[in-house]
Amino acid sequence: MSKIVDLVQSQVIASVKEEADVEKAINSKANIVFLLTGNLINVNDYLKRLQKADKQVFIHIDFIDGLSNTKSAIKYIAHTWKPTGIITTKSALVKYAKEEKLMAIQRIFLIDGAAISKGIEMSLSCKPDAIEVLPGLMPTIIDQLTKKVRLPIIAGGLIASKEDILQGLEAGALAISSGNPGLWNFDL
């Protein structure tokens, strides 16, 4: 299985939060898409359309309506939908995804020092392929995390400009996820 660092061609990741943005992601330069919208009925369609456009798709399972946070849900995703991987805030789901040969990204909200410590602890125990940190506008924290966890860091949340993207990358992030389609076409 590939490592996530091998998948990244564009260091801007399209984070699709609305159905209307699926087509924008298909037509963007981003080769990785985080799918944060949909339900049991339409996610497979979004996924297939994105995959047909040669996008690596990570389904954020905490946002898909109708999915439960169980081992059987992960098994269903792996065997029926077949995305590149999943994104979740839940360590147990990261472990289940790894068992099913899916890549897994642990999403961590960096709201204070305790959250950073807990995020490091969770990541070291469940061993995701990468960590997505939110908000992504904290270059100093991104730099610290890259040294402590030795996992690829994806920064996201509150990314509003090319400067925000460049600051995150300069701090050591592998890539930057953004829900703003206007930022999906930079050559980075």
> Above pLDDT 90, what percent of the chain?
82
Query: Which residues lie below 8 Å from residue 138, measured CB to CB, with a gap of 6+?
Result: 110, 155
Mean pLDDT across the chain = 94
What is the number of structural domains in the chain? Answer: 1
Query: Which residues lie below 8 Å from residue 69, measured CB to CB, with a gap of 6+?
Result: 61, 62, 88, 90, 92, 93
pLDDT at residue 86, as a whole number: 98
For residue 98, being part of any structural domain is answered with yes
Residues of the domain holding 14: 4-183
| Model confidence band, residue 188 (pLDDT cutoffs 50, 70, 90) | confident
| Model confidence band, residue 88 (pLDDT cutoffs 50, 70, 90) | very high
Distance CA 47, CA 60 (A): 12
For residue 188, being part of any structural domain is answered with no
The residue-averaged pLDDT of 151-161 equals 94
| Model confidence band, residue 96 (pLDDT cutoffs 50, 70, 90) | very high
The tokens for 21 are 């943005």
Q: Can you state the angle between helices 139-149 and 162-170, rounded to 10 degrees? A: 30
The CATH code of the domain that includes 167 is: 3.20.20.70
Express each pLDDT in 99-153 by its tens digit.
999 999 999 998 888 988 998 899 889 999 999 999 888 888 899 888 999 899 9
